[in-house]
Structure 1
Amino acid sequence: MTNVVDLLPSPQDIIMNDIDFTGEQDLIESIESLNKLAAYYAQLALQGLQLDSIQRQQQSLLAASRYLASHTKEKATFHSTQLYLTQLINRFPRLKPIFTVLAACGQRLKYVLTGEQDGLDILLGNEQIEQALQQVQSLMSDHQTHLIFHALDLCLRKKHSNSLVGRKLRILWLGGDSYSGIISILHLLLNLCHETGLLIDLHYTDSNSSLIREAEQAFKVHLTNQNRLQITYYDEVDLSNGEHNDNLGVESYDIVFAANKLQGSHNLLYSLVTINRLLVSNGLLILLELTHAPLYFDFIFGLVDQWWSPVDGHRALLSVEQWTTTIRETGGFETVQSAPSSFGNALIVAQKSISCKILQTLEERQRQAWLLFVDDNTPNIGDVLPPLLPSSNITLINPFGSNPEHIRFKIEQMMTIYKQVYIVFGCPLSQELVNDDSEVVFTKQEKHLCGTLVRMLQTIQQAEPRNFPFVFVVTRNAQPGT
């Protein structure tokens, strides 16, 4: 039976799906105008500024201010700047959040350069500015996000609409301090569930606990009277710290999505390795990340130290090529495709490998183990199955050659050593395996195998491990005469 992850489009299919970002035309058309407005603020900030008053850590912001100040030959005054700001708001009304944040940052730029004010306090210390900043982040990615999920929706409907009934798609959404654009995605997913019979588990994360609560209340309105789309919320997820991700199961997700979330990660490679660990084989990592930005962004995000590289003082943004290289360095993604947009966000799609040779080298597979119950009558299971398994930690037990205490000890030992254990009970109770007149022998064999299975389950139950083993019973003809 095909897993739902195998029905998802490939990275190339998503990239080649003609995802058109021109719906964000005002963002593109406004770039030069916003750069000019930023130049005005730069001129005002630099007027009468004493070089010896500038903080050492603000040298990158100072260099950006000087460069932007020369971007226009016009001499700015406070009045001309305010007049130009009003004109731009009237011309691009949808972009008012950008103007609000840029004006707040530009008017305080001088004080950030001298260390009298902290850039982070300007962005997050005022409720109105903080809300506008969240709206800016939505403007940057909401439209593109909708197009991406629309492409996934179309692919599943066109190619597999009759194969989705009762299947479950598991999505991990790494929130980026704004949830407004997700509501349209919820409606899209709800329609997909309703019309195809698909089930969806959406796990939504955000490090801001108050935003998580707001998102839960906002989403609840749209999820009433249905049970096909379920959302779980997490506010203590840190991809760069494995200890904070215990609630997210290893190899539990078919899709991991993030928009402008990973760029500022303390350890990007480790974060990507963590994501790879959370994905099932063949699962998709879908990222929207800023790979180049307009000049005026330096006066918004440049007020925060993380915007600048500690190595050379330039922007710390990764290029598409650097993203692709870093994703490949994880060792677990087999395919990586990318597509830039005119505004600055690049779409990056990576697919986790399905190669057993590659998967066996990954940490999550090395922390897994398989316990196979096979007897002399079913050597084919013990011979054929191990090479197909995605882990090399494999133990074979013959239920007729092992006493109950040994089996109990082995199960407890494996649950202690490994983070996840898989148990395959592959001993068929087929009457063909004994003589036709050996009913007593068959009954004894049946009781022994059933007793072994029950004791195995009791051992697991009594141990109460953090991660319960997955148990697969592949016995054929479990009752006499069937």
Structure 2
Amino acid sequence: MEYYQKLAQRGVHLDTNFQAIKKLWKNKSEESLAEISLPEKILSQTNPYTIHPVLLDACFQGIGITLLEEDQNITYLPIGLDKFTLYENTSHTHLWSHVKLRSRKSSIQHTLIADVEIIEPQGTIIATVEGIQLSPVSPETLFASSQNTYTDWLYGIEWRQKQIFTASSEHFLTPQKISDRLTPRFTELVNKTEITYYQQLLPKLDHLSLKYIIQAFQGMGWKFTENQSLSKQSLTIAKKYQRLTDYLLKNLTEAGILNKIDDHWQVIKTSNSATIERQKQELLKEYPFAEIELTLLHRCASQLAQVLQGKCDPVQLLFPQGDLSTATQLYQDSPGAKMMNTLVQETLSVALETLPQGKKVRILEIGAGTGGTTAYLLPYLNSAQTEYCFSDISPIFSEKAKQKFSDYSFISYQTLDIEQDPQKQGFSAESYDIIVAANVLHATENLEETINHVHQLLAPKGMLLLLENTSALLWLDLIFGLTEGWWRFNDEVRNDYPLISAQKWQKLLIDREFEHTAILKPEQKQGETVSQQSIILGQKKASAPKNWLILGDKDVFAENLVNYLQEKGQYAILSQEIDNLDEFQHIIYLGSLDSPEPSNLTTQDLETASEIGCTNVLTLVQTLANSSTPPTLSIVTRGAVSTETEDILPGLTEASLWGIGKVINLEHTQLNCRCIDLDTKIAPEKQIQALLSVIESTEKETQVALRDDQLQVSRLVRHGKIEPYKLEIPQNEAFKLDISQKGTLSNLELVPTSRISPEQGEVEIKVGATGLNFIDVLDGLGLLPFEREWFGVECVGEVVRVGEGVNELKKAIAF
């Protein structure tokens, strides 16, 4: 089939058994339809499957046809999916796959998302796969060769002491107090000479922008002669730029160049004779500091006609071949950017003035982009008390930032689309004390939903520090307004323009349950002319007392925990029943703490206790899985985990809960599941204090152990250099792998054996390599419920002897 030939040309070679697509169609809207049949060779294998793996793989292959026009050097690998739904439990050999690729949020979004419907021949949908995410990877990354030996592949768990920090947002000043503190400073900055000159420049840049707009319309066929009647229908404008075109025409009308009459425009004034280049040079001479603004404006606006017609990608104008330098200079080094970024930095510093020692602040920057604002903030943050997350929708910006900010050890990088639910992207609710968003939130489709997502990420009393353009600047519209995100708005806050005033931002925050807000303003009215950008602060409400459910038996520890929480003003109950869970914000599972002593433990005791504990937790998770407001879940054990400091583990029967806890973290991230192992040697009150400090902490630690009054966390670390244990190979004779005594793999040995002549239909293979399978490990550890007389399931080697009736394998390589 031609499709598989095209895949092969891109270096993707599929075995014939996996070439199950028989017919394939694609339309221009990035949809595909594939007819799929199970290859004849494996028709007999359908019995155990509802959807055979080969058929399912072919359903996903349909995504590939939508990507064939992408860069041939890029391969897309699936990295996750949102939801799989199976509607019918019947085996099939013939199916149809309908693939729809979701629209990219912007041209710089690299992760692709697709939805797949799996349909039986009569047209009934039997399964859907929603939100398949595919990430691009280059051949260099995919096939990178490594000189590492197998010893570099070995990792182990190491327990390390760590101080657990609790929330710091309760120590911040209110937005109004911060604003009052900084008003004199804002006034001082506004009155600086370079800002005064910059204020004079801005309207002249807008005037130059009018000339670029006229030039663009002329390039598309309009003639700007006096009294000329012009029709928008005569222009070939791409659908996604209709809003931008209307906005440009509105600016020409407000400038007195055009007059709108019904659905036509009449030219009432022609532009003066000064050419764009001449006016640009005059501005550069008068304002030499404006080279970046003029360069970027010319690069983008001179191609305005091509952009409006869909013939030019504006992202390539902003970031040619991925070069962020010019845009970074505008965001970071222009006089206006310097002033506003300095104010953002000083606002953050004032907010953190009252942060006590021993508290850590968690800061998230949304849409950090080129790092223009980040560069002002990081040098003023205390590395010992700060966790800073640099986030953006595009991994390109994060990769550039990693190089730019490599000297800062307290910064992490994460991809975040603030228009989507953050918890589905690996972010925990209420996990940040401060969120910084500089010139980014306006570029989202729905501001109410966006602010809801921001609110969701903020800790109680957490602070939003918002820097936004709050009035129109035509020259900026001809730069950033060419991108799709600028005009995607679709909410009740905005009508025909993506930016809103500072007062509207403030009202929006209040409507979205921010308790305190403030707008940072200079004292003097003339300073408002530079307030095309504004700093708006919003503080989330303090949290109400939490409801705690303690699941377990009525023992002394559980009752003391309930009493401790109640004394702190929290609502807490002890129960063994898993019902009415929606009213709780925290659930602590203590149901397996009553462990039998290891010295009296039988195999049956171990199996029974593990089964009861895991079944209880599994039932709990299944109940919580569909909760609209899931609580946090903490699984508590006592002496169940080895940190390599214990002589014995008194809670051995509880160890299996840690396995299920790890699975919960992978499959139900919304529960923020923690496994916490207490120390039997520590006083109960200290155990309770340590337990609650972990649950209420700002850290995202999911595996914590209390040992010797210290909290320890697990880390996956590369194993130290080890000397490989080599078995001695018998010389000049046949041998086999055996074990002297089952229970440990160190008892494996190679022992001589006699060669057996192959009987009818058999072959003898000289083994070159053999696979170590899980069943072999279980056998060596003595855990199989039956006996085997050999190790090994598969091998690669050379056929050296054959039995009677074997004619085709006399000289062959065996697999």
**TM-score normalised by structure 2 residue count:** 0.46
TM-aligned CA deviation for residue 230 of structure 1: 1.5
Look up the match of 1:67. Answer: 254
Query: For 2:342 and 2:655, how far apart are their aligned partners in 1?
Result: 45
TM-aligned CA deviation for residue 43 of structure 1: 4.5
Query: For 1:477 and 1:177, how far apart are their aligned partners in 2?
Result: 45
Look up the match of 1:411. Answer: 617
TM-aligned CA deviation for residue 26 of structure 1: 4.0
Q: Deviations over 1:39-62 (max 9, x none)?
A: 333444456155342346222222
Query: For 1:395 and 1:305, how far apart are their aligned partners in 2?
Result: 44
* Residues 212 and 120 of structure 1, relative CA distance in 2, 3 Å threshold: same
Give the alignment partner of residue 371 of structure 1, picking from 540, 544, 550: 550
* Aligned 8 A contact 2:257 2:269 in 1: yes
Query: For 1:310 and 1:249, how far apart are their aligned partners in 2?
Result: 27
* Residues 284 and 414 of structure 1, relative CA distance in 2, 3 Å threshold: farther
Give the alignment partner of residue 421 of structure 1, picking from 601, 623, 632: 632
**Equivalent residue letter for 1:326:** L
**Equivalent residue letter for 1:343:** S
* Residues 409 and 10 of structure 1, relative CA distance in 2, 3 Å threshold: farther
Name whichever of 257-266 and 318-327 sits farther off.
318-327
* Residues 255 and 381 of structure 1, relative CA distance in 2, 3 Å threshold: same
TM-aligned CA deviation for residue 233 of structure 1: 1.0
Give the alignment partner of residue 352 of structure 1, picking from 540, 562, 565: 540
Indicate yes or no: 2:348 matched with 1:152.
yes
Give the alignment partner of residue 337 of structure 1, picking from 488, 493, 518: 518
Which is higher, the Rg of structure 1 or of structure 2?
A: 2
* Aligned 8 A contact 1:240 1:266 in 2: yes
Give the alignment partner of residue 100 of structure 1, picking from 292, 295, 299: 295
Report matched runs for 1:130-279 at 5 Å.
131-138=325-332, 139=334, 141-154=337-350, 156-157=352-353, 159-160=354-355, 163-164=356-357, 166-189=358-381, 192-193=382-383, 198-220=384-406, 222-223=407-408, 229-234=409-414, 236-242=415-421, 245-279=424-458
Q: Deviations over 1:232-261 (max 9, x none)?
A: 112x31122227853323322111111011
* Residues 380 and 268 of structure 1, relative CA distance in 2, 3 Å threshold: same
Look up the match of 1:286. Answer: 465
Indicate yes or no: 2:657 matched with 1:459.
yes
Give the alignment partner of residue 325 of structure 1, picking from 507, 510, 518: 507
Q: Deviations over 1:39-89 (max 9, x none)?
A: 33344445615534234622222222343464998943353x322211212
Q: Deviations over 1:196-223 (max 9, x none)?
A: xx42111111223222212111111x33
Counterpart secondary structure, 2:405: helix
* Aligned 8 A contact 2:328 2:372 in 1: no
Give the alignment partner of residue 86 of structure 1, picking from 276, 281, 289: 281
Query: For 2:396 and 2:570, how far apart are their aligned partners in 1?
Result: 46
Look up the match of 1:7. Answer: 171
Query: For 1:469 and 1:32, how far apart are their aligned partners in 2?
Result: 56
Query: For 1:296 and 1:287, how far apart are their aligned partners in 2?
Result: 22
Look up the match of 2:206. Answer: 35
**Equivalent residue letter for 2:176:** Q
Kindly indicate which of the two structures has a greater share of residues assigned to strand: 2
* Aligned 8 A contact 1:120 1:303 in 2: yes
Look up the match of 2:131. Answer: none
Give the alignment partner of residue 16 of structure 1, picking from 150, 166, 180: 180
* Residues 184 and 320 of structure 1, relative CA distance in 2, 3 Å threshold: closer
* Aligned 8 A contact 1:212 1:233 in 2: yes
Q: Deviations over 1:424-474 (max 9, x none)?
A: 9799xxxxxxxxxxxxxxxxxxxxxx967x655641344412143264968
Query: For 2:288 and 2:343, how far apart are their aligned partners in 1?
Result: 23
Indicate yes or no: 2:273 matched with 1:77.
yes
Q: Structure 1 unaligned runs (5+)?
A: 224-228, 361-368, 428-449
Report matched runs for 1:311-322 at 5 Å.
314-322=496-504
**Equivalent residue letter for 2:583:** S
Question: How well do the aligned residues superpose, as a CA RMSD in angstroms?
Answer: 4.1
TM-aligned CA deviation for residue 392 of structure 1: 2.9
* Aligned 8 A contact 1:426 1:475 in 2: no
Q: Deviations over 1:253-287 (max 9, x none)?
A: 11111101111112322222222222221211111
Look up the match of 2:234. Answer: 53
* Residues 314 and 401 of structure 1, relative CA distance in 2, 3 Å threshold: closer
Query: For 1:203 and 1:118, how far apart are their aligned partners in 2?
Result: 34
Query: For 2:411 and 2:497, how far apart are their aligned partners in 1?
Result: 36
Name whichever of 255-264 and 390-399 sits farther off.
390-399
* Aligned 8 A contact 2:388 2:410 in 1: yes
Identity rate of aligned residues, in percent?
A: 20
* Aligned 8 A contact 1:173 1:204 in 2: yes
* Residues 67 and 298 of structure 1, relative CA distance in 2, 3 Å threshold: farther
Query: For 1:38 and 1:336, how far apart are their aligned partners in 2?
Result: 35
Kindly indicate which of the two structures has a greater share of residues assigned to helix: 1
Structure number with higher relative contact order (C-alpha < 8 Å, ≥ 6 residues apart): 1
* Aligned 8 A contact 1:381 1:426 in 2: no
Query: For 2:362 and 2:404, how far apart are their aligned partners in 1?
Result: 21
Counterpart secondary structure, 1:413: helix
Name whichever of 37-46 and 173-182 sits farther off.
37-46
**Equivalent residue letter for 1:63:** K
Query: For 1:326 and 1:263, how far apart are their aligned partners in 2?
Result: 12
* Aligned 8 A contact 2:391 2:416 in 1: yes
**Equivalent residue letter for 2:247:** S
* Aligned 8 A contact 1:372 1:425 in 2: no
* Aligned 8 A contact 1:415 1:421 in 2: no
Query: For 1:463 and 1:128, how far apart are their aligned partners in 2?
Result: 42
* Residues 396 and 219 of structure 1, relative CA distance in 2, 3 Å threshold: closer
In the alignment of these two chains, the number of paired residues is 426
Look up the match of 1:468. Answer: 673
